[in-house]
Amino acid sequence: MGYFLQQLVNGLTLGAIYALIAIGYTMVYGIVGMINFAHGEIFMIGAFISLIFFVVLGVLGVTWLPLALLLVLLLAMALTAVYGWAVERIAYRPLRGSFRLAPLISAIGMSIFLQNYVLLVQGAHEKTLPPMITGGFELMQSGGFMVSVSWLQLIIVGVTLLLMVVFTAVIQLTPLGRAQRATEQDMTMAALLGIDVDRTISLTFVIGAALAAVAGLMVTLQYGVIDFFIGFLAGVKAFTAAVLGGIGSLPGAVLGGLLIGLIEALWSGYCPSEYKDVAVYAVLILVLMFRPTGLLGRPEVEKV
Protein backbone atom coordinates (compact mmCIF):
# COMPACT_ATOMS: atom_id res chain seq x y z
CA MET A 1 0.00 0.00 0.00
CA GLY A 2 2.75 2.41 0.92
CA TYR A 3 4.72 1.48 -2.11
CA PHE A 4 1.68 2.05 -4.25
CA LEU A 5 1.13 5.50 -2.72
CA GLN A 6 4.76 6.41 -3.30
CA GLN A 7 4.43 5.46 -6.96
CA LEU A 8 1.28 7.52 -7.09
CA VAL A 9 3.12 10.57 -5.75
CA ASN A 10 5.96 10.07 -8.21
CA GLY A 11 3.53 9.49 -11.04
CA LEU A 12 1.64 12.67 -10.29
CA THR A 13 4.87 14.68 -10.34
CA LEU A 14 5.90 13.21 -13.65
CA GLY A 15 2.37 13.62 -14.94
CA ALA A 16 2.35 17.30 -14.06
CA ILE A 17 5.44 17.77 -16.22
CA TYR A 18 3.87 15.86 -19.12
CA ALA A 19 0.74 17.94 -18.71
CA LEU A 20 2.70 21.18 -19.14
CA ILE A 21 4.17 19.93 -22.41
CA ALA A 22 0.88 18.43 -23.53
CA ILE A 23 -0.83 21.81 -23.31
CA GLY A 24 1.45 23.08 -26.06
CA TYR A 25 0.53 20.16 -28.32
CA THR A 26 -3.14 20.46 -27.67
CA MET A 27 -3.32 24.23 -28.19
CA VAL A 28 -1.40 24.10 -31.44
CA TYR A 29 -3.38 21.14 -32.69
CA GLY A 30 -6.58 22.90 -31.80
CA ILE A 31 -5.71 26.04 -33.67
CA VAL A 32 -3.81 24.90 -36.75
CA GLY A 33 -4.67 21.21 -36.78
CA MET A 34 -1.12 19.91 -36.93
CA ILE A 35 1.14 17.97 -34.62
CA ASN A 36 3.92 20.33 -33.68
CA PHE A 37 6.48 17.60 -33.81
CA ALA A 38 9.22 20.00 -32.70
CA HIS A 39 7.47 20.74 -29.42
CA GLY A 40 9.44 18.07 -27.59
CA GLU A 41 12.63 19.81 -28.68
CA ILE A 42 11.26 23.12 -27.42
CA PHE A 43 10.88 21.46 -24.04
CA MET A 44 14.44 20.17 -24.28
CA ILE A 45 15.67 23.67 -25.13
CA GLY A 46 13.73 25.00 -22.16
CA ALA A 47 15.55 22.50 -19.95
CA PHE A 48 18.94 23.53 -21.36
CA ILE A 49 18.24 27.24 -20.96
CA SER A 50 17.13 26.64 -17.37
CA LEU A 51 20.23 24.67 -16.54
CA ILE A 52 22.51 27.22 -18.17
CA PHE A 53 21.00 30.09 -16.23
CA PHE A 54 21.13 28.21 -12.93
CA VAL A 55 24.83 27.71 -13.49
CA VAL A 56 25.37 31.29 -14.64
CA LEU A 57 23.42 32.77 -11.73
CA GLY A 58 25.31 30.51 -9.34
CA VAL A 59 28.62 31.86 -10.60
CA LEU A 60 27.31 35.43 -10.52
CA GLY A 61 26.52 34.92 -6.85
CA VAL A 62 22.73 34.89 -6.91
CA THR A 63 22.35 32.30 -4.23
CA TRP A 64 19.05 33.19 -2.61
CA LEU A 65 17.01 30.32 -3.92
CA PRO A 66 13.59 31.96 -4.48
CA LEU A 67 15.21 34.81 -6.45
CA ALA A 68 17.31 32.43 -8.53
CA LEU A 69 14.27 30.26 -9.24
CA LEU A 70 12.14 33.21 -10.26
CA LEU A 71 14.86 34.66 -12.51
CA VAL A 72 15.52 31.35 -14.20
CA LEU A 73 11.82 30.72 -14.63
CA LEU A 74 11.25 34.08 -16.30
CA LEU A 75 14.36 33.92 -18.47
CA ALA A 76 13.68 30.36 -19.56
CA MET A 77 10.05 31.08 -20.36
CA ALA A 78 10.90 34.21 -22.33
CA LEU A 79 13.81 32.81 -24.32
CA THR A 80 12.17 29.47 -25.02
CA ALA A 81 9.10 31.35 -26.17
CA VAL A 82 11.30 33.04 -28.78
CA TYR A 83 12.24 29.58 -30.02
CA GLY A 84 8.58 28.61 -30.19
CA TRP A 85 7.80 31.78 -32.11
CA ALA A 86 10.70 31.31 -34.52
CA VAL A 87 9.80 27.69 -35.24
CA GLU A 88 6.29 28.68 -36.23
CA ARG A 89 7.45 31.63 -38.28
CA ILE A 90 10.12 29.71 -40.18
CA ALA A 91 8.82 26.19 -40.55
CA TYR A 92 5.02 26.33 -40.35
CA ARG A 93 3.66 29.69 -41.42
CA PRO A 94 4.87 29.47 -45.02
CA LEU A 95 3.16 26.10 -45.27
CA ARG A 96 -0.29 27.12 -44.18
CA GLY A 97 -2.76 25.81 -46.74
CA SER A 98 -0.14 23.65 -48.41
CA PHE A 99 -0.19 19.95 -49.25
CA ARG A 100 -1.39 18.21 -46.11
CA LEU A 101 1.70 16.23 -45.17
CA ALA A 102 3.98 19.22 -45.73
CA PRO A 103 3.68 20.88 -42.30
CA LEU A 104 4.21 17.60 -40.52
CA ILE A 105 7.32 16.76 -42.52
CA SER A 106 8.58 20.29 -41.97
CA ALA A 107 7.97 19.81 -38.25
CA ILE A 108 9.98 16.59 -38.24
CA GLY A 109 12.76 18.42 -40.05
CA MET A 110 12.62 21.19 -37.46
CA SER A 111 12.78 18.64 -34.68
CA ILE A 112 15.87 16.98 -36.16
CA PHE A 113 17.43 20.38 -36.71
CA LEU A 114 16.87 21.61 -33.15
CA GLN A 115 18.12 18.39 -31.63
CA ASN A 116 21.32 18.51 -33.61
CA TYR A 117 21.70 22.23 -33.06
CA VAL A 118 21.76 21.67 -29.31
CA LEU A 119 24.05 18.69 -29.80
CA LEU A 120 26.41 20.91 -31.73
CA VAL A 121 26.44 23.95 -29.44
CA GLN A 122 26.16 22.17 -26.09
CA GLY A 123 27.78 18.82 -26.74
CA ALA A 124 26.60 15.24 -26.61
CA HIS A 125 27.42 14.56 -22.96
CA GLU A 126 24.81 14.71 -20.25
CA LYS A 127 24.58 17.97 -18.34
CA THR A 128 24.11 17.72 -14.62
CA LEU A 129 22.89 20.15 -12.02
CA PRO A 130 23.41 19.53 -8.32
CA PRO A 131 20.12 19.31 -6.42
CA MET A 132 18.94 22.79 -5.51
CA ILE A 133 15.78 22.12 -3.59
CA THR A 134 16.20 19.36 -1.09
CA GLY A 135 14.16 17.94 1.70
CA GLY A 136 10.55 17.12 2.05
CA PHE A 137 8.24 15.51 4.48
CA GLU A 138 6.93 12.11 5.24
CA LEU A 139 3.35 11.72 4.27
CA MET A 140 2.56 8.55 6.11
CA GLN A 141 3.82 5.21 7.14
CA SER A 142 1.95 2.40 5.53
CA GLY A 143 2.64 -1.29 5.38
CA GLY A 144 6.20 -0.81 6.58
CA PHE A 145 6.88 1.64 3.82
CA MET A 146 7.51 5.35 4.29
CA VAL A 147 5.69 7.47 1.74
CA SER A 148 7.62 10.69 1.29
CA VAL A 149 6.91 13.80 -0.70
CA SER A 150 9.73 16.20 -1.51
CA TRP A 151 9.26 19.96 -1.46
CA LEU A 152 10.21 19.93 -5.09
CA GLN A 153 7.41 17.54 -5.96
CA LEU A 154 5.00 19.85 -4.20
CA ILE A 155 6.37 22.83 -6.09
CA ILE A 156 6.08 21.01 -9.41
CA VAL A 157 2.48 19.99 -8.90
CA GLY A 158 1.62 23.38 -7.41
CA VAL A 159 3.17 25.40 -10.23
CA THR A 160 1.53 23.18 -12.82
CA LEU A 161 -1.89 23.62 -11.31
CA LEU A 162 -1.36 27.36 -10.96
CA LEU A 163 -0.30 27.75 -14.59
CA MET A 164 -3.15 25.59 -15.68
CA VAL A 165 -5.66 27.83 -13.94
CA VAL A 166 -4.01 30.98 -15.29
CA PHE A 167 -3.94 29.79 -18.87
CA THR A 168 -7.43 28.36 -18.78
CA ALA A 169 -8.54 31.77 -17.57
CA VAL A 170 -6.62 33.40 -20.41
CA ILE A 171 -8.31 31.21 -22.98
CA GLN A 172 -11.75 31.62 -21.48
CA LEU A 173 -11.78 35.28 -20.55
CA THR A 174 -9.39 37.43 -22.58
CA PRO A 175 -9.67 38.79 -26.12
CA LEU A 176 -6.66 36.66 -27.05
CA GLY A 177 -8.54 33.58 -25.94
CA ARG A 178 -11.55 34.63 -27.91
CA ALA A 179 -9.43 35.21 -31.00
CA GLN A 180 -7.85 31.82 -30.47
CA ARG A 181 -11.14 30.02 -30.26
CA ALA A 182 -12.47 31.86 -33.28
CA THR A 183 -9.39 30.98 -35.31
CA GLU A 184 -9.76 27.40 -34.20
CA GLN A 185 -13.31 27.31 -35.53
CA ASP A 186 -12.73 28.94 -38.88
CA MET A 187 -9.49 30.60 -39.83
CA THR A 188 -10.81 32.39 -42.91
CA MET A 189 -13.87 33.74 -41.20
CA ALA A 190 -11.86 34.89 -38.21
CA ALA A 191 -9.53 36.77 -40.53
CA LEU A 192 -12.48 38.38 -42.30
CA LEU A 193 -13.82 39.56 -38.97
CA GLY A 194 -10.62 41.42 -38.26
CA ILE A 195 -8.78 38.91 -36.11
CA ASP A 196 -5.05 38.94 -36.77
CA VAL A 197 -4.80 35.21 -37.42
CA ASP A 198 -1.02 35.22 -37.81
CA ARG A 199 -0.57 36.96 -34.50
CA THR A 200 -3.03 34.66 -32.75
CA ILE A 201 -1.25 31.57 -34.01
CA SER A 202 2.14 33.01 -33.08
CA LEU A 203 0.90 33.70 -29.57
CA THR A 204 -0.36 30.15 -29.29
CA PHE A 205 3.10 28.86 -30.10
CA VAL A 206 4.66 31.36 -27.69
CA ILE A 207 2.41 30.27 -24.82
CA GLY A 208 2.97 26.61 -25.60
CA ALA A 209 6.73 27.10 -25.65
CA ALA A 210 6.70 29.06 -22.41
CA LEU A 211 4.83 26.25 -20.67
CA ALA A 212 7.23 23.71 -22.15
CA ALA A 213 10.06 25.79 -20.72
CA VAL A 214 8.50 25.48 -17.28
CA ALA A 215 8.37 21.73 -17.80
CA GLY A 216 12.03 21.85 -18.84
CA LEU A 217 12.89 23.74 -15.68
CA MET A 218 11.03 21.21 -13.54
CA VAL A 219 12.79 18.28 -15.15
CA THR A 220 16.14 19.93 -14.63
CA LEU A 221 15.37 20.45 -10.96
CA GLN A 222 13.79 17.07 -10.37
CA TYR A 223 16.22 14.81 -12.20
CA GLY A 224 19.31 17.03 -12.43
CA VAL A 225 20.46 15.34 -15.65
CA ILE A 226 19.57 16.42 -19.15
CA ASP A 227 20.89 15.81 -22.64
CA PHE A 228 20.00 16.86 -26.16
CA PHE A 229 17.87 13.75 -26.70
CA ILE A 230 15.33 14.12 -23.89
CA GLY A 231 12.88 16.03 -26.08
CA PHE A 232 12.01 13.11 -28.31
CA LEU A 233 10.65 10.77 -25.68
CA ALA A 234 9.09 13.49 -23.55
CA GLY A 235 7.49 14.90 -26.67
CA VAL A 236 5.97 11.60 -27.72
CA LYS A 237 4.67 10.97 -24.22
CA ALA A 238 3.22 14.43 -23.84
CA PHE A 239 1.60 14.09 -27.22
CA THR A 240 0.14 10.79 -26.07
CA ALA A 241 -1.16 12.61 -23.03
CA ALA A 242 -2.79 15.25 -25.21
CA VAL A 243 -4.44 12.58 -27.37
CA LEU A 244 -5.51 10.56 -24.37
CA GLY A 245 -7.16 13.58 -22.83
CA GLY A 246 -8.75 14.62 -26.08
CA ILE A 247 -6.70 16.79 -28.38
CA GLY A 248 -7.79 20.40 -28.42
CA SER A 249 -8.99 20.30 -24.82
CA LEU A 250 -6.91 22.03 -22.13
CA PRO A 251 -8.35 20.12 -19.16
CA GLY A 252 -7.94 17.01 -21.31
CA ALA A 253 -4.23 17.68 -21.68
CA VAL A 254 -3.84 17.96 -17.92
CA LEU A 255 -5.87 14.84 -17.25
CA GLY A 256 -3.99 12.96 -19.96
CA GLY A 257 -0.63 14.12 -18.62
CA LEU A 258 -1.43 12.98 -15.12
CA LEU A 259 -2.71 9.62 -16.38
CA ILE A 260 0.38 9.01 -18.49
CA GLY A 261 2.59 9.93 -15.55
CA LEU A 262 0.68 7.51 -13.33
CA ILE A 263 0.76 4.71 -15.89
CA GLU A 264 4.49 5.13 -16.30
CA ALA A 265 5.21 5.27 -12.57
CA LEU A 266 2.96 2.35 -11.71
CA TRP A 267 4.32 0.27 -14.56
CA SER A 268 7.86 0.98 -13.40
CA GLY A 269 6.82 0.05 -9.90
CA TYR A 270 5.25 -3.28 -10.70
CA CYS A 271 6.38 -4.42 -14.15
CA PRO A 272 9.72 -4.63 -15.93
CA SER A 273 10.62 -0.97 -16.15
CA GLU A 274 12.50 -1.31 -19.43
CA TYR A 275 9.09 -1.80 -21.05
CA LYS A 276 7.52 1.29 -19.50
CA ASP A 277 7.74 3.19 -22.78
CA VAL A 278 6.04 0.29 -24.54
CA ALA A 279 3.19 0.69 -22.06
CA VAL A 280 2.85 4.36 -22.97
CA TYR A 281 2.95 3.67 -26.71
CA ALA A 282 0.39 0.91 -26.25
CA VAL A 283 -1.92 3.35 -24.48
CA LEU A 284 -1.49 5.78 -27.35
CA ILE A 285 -2.34 3.15 -29.94
CA LEU A 286 -5.31 1.79 -28.02
CA VAL A 287 -6.77 5.23 -27.41
CA LEU A 288 -6.41 6.22 -31.04
CA MET A 289 -7.94 2.95 -32.17
CA PHE A 290 -10.94 2.90 -29.90
CA ARG A 291 -11.51 6.48 -28.86
CA PRO A 292 -9.70 8.81 -31.24
CA THR A 293 -11.38 11.81 -29.64
CA GLY A 294 -9.80 11.01 -26.28
CA LEU A 295 -11.40 11.20 -22.88
CA LEU A 296 -12.60 14.80 -22.95
CA GLY A 297 -12.49 15.59 -26.67
CA ARG A 298 -15.45 16.42 -28.82
CA PRO A 299 -16.42 13.85 -31.43
CA GLU A 300 -15.43 14.89 -34.88
CA VAL A 301 -17.96 14.71 -37.69
CA GLU A 302 -16.43 13.98 -41.04
CA LYS A 303 -17.10 16.82 -43.41
CA VAL A 304 -18.08 15.66 -46.86
Partner 1 sequence: MMGAAPRLKDAGLAALVALALAFPLIGFETAESGVGFTTRFPWVAIAGAAVFAGRLLLGLLPQRFHLRQRASRSTAVSDGKFVKLAAAALIVFAVLLPVLPFASRRSIDLATLALIYVILGWGLNVVVGLAGLLDLGYVAFYAVGAYSFALAVQWFGLSFWEMLPLSGVTAATAGILLGIPVLRLRGDYLAIVTLGFGEIVRIVLNNWTSMTGGPNGIGDIPRPTVFGMPIAPGAPAGVTTFNHVIGIAYDPIQRLIWLYYVALAVALIINWFSLRIRRLPVGRAWEALREDEIACRALGLNPTTIKLSAFATGAMTGGFAGVLFAARAGFISPESFNFQESATVLSIVVLGGMGSQLGVALAAVILATLPEFGREFAQYRMLIFGAAMVAIMIWRPRGLFTVRAPSVRLDQT
Partner 2 sequence: MTRQSLLAVENLSMRFGGVVAVDDLSFTAYRREITAIIGPNGAGKTTVFNCLTGFYRPTGGSLVLTQDDRNFQLERLKGYRIARDAGVARTFQNVRLFAGMTVLENLVVAQHVALTRASGYNLGGLLGLKRHQDAERAAIVRAREWLDLIDLTGRADEVAGNLPYGAQRKLEIVRAMCTGPRLLCVDEPAAGLNPHESADLARFLVLIRDRFGIGILLIEHDMTVVMGISDHVIVLNYGKKVADASPAEVRRDPAVIKAYLGEEGD
Give the binding site for partner 2 (CB under 8 A): 301-302, 304
Q: DSSP H helical segments within the chain, as ranges? A: 2-32, 39-60, 65-87, 102-122, 151-173, 175-185, 187-192, 197-223, 230-245, 250-270, 276-290
From residue 71, give the alpha-carbon distance in Å to each of 29, 63, 76, 228.
Answer: 30, 11, 8, 23
Using CB distances below 5 to 8 A depending on partner kind, what does residue 60 bind out of partner 2, partner 1, none?
none
Q: CB under 5 to 8 A by kind: which of partner 2, partner 1, none does 166 bind? A: none
CB of residue 302 to partner 2, shortest distance in Å = 7
277 binds partner 1 (CB under 8 A): yes
* Stretch of 8-16, 88-96, 137-145, 251-259 lying at the interface with partner 1 (CB under 8 A): 88-96
What is the DSSP code string of 137-186? EEEEEETTEEEEEEHHHHHHHHHHHHHHHHHHHHHHHSHHHHHHHHHHH-
Q: Which CB sits closer to partner 1, 100 or 199? A: 100
Which residues does 277 contact at the CB level (< 8 Å), separation at least 6?
233, 237
Point out which span in 13-21, 107-115, 144-152, 248-256 binds partner 1 (CB under 8 A): 107-115
Question: With CB under 8 A as the contact rule, which of the stretches 11-19, 121-129, 172-180, 183-191 interacts with partner 1?
Answer: 121-129
Using CB distances below 5 to 8 A depending on partner kind, what does residue 75 bind out of partner 1, partner 2, none? partner 1
**What residues from 216 to 235 belong to the interface with partner 1 (CB under 8 A)?**
224, 232
Minimum distance between the CB of residue 304 and partner 2, rounded to whole angstroms?
Answer: 5
CA-angle at 14, arms to 220 and 10, nearest 5°: 110
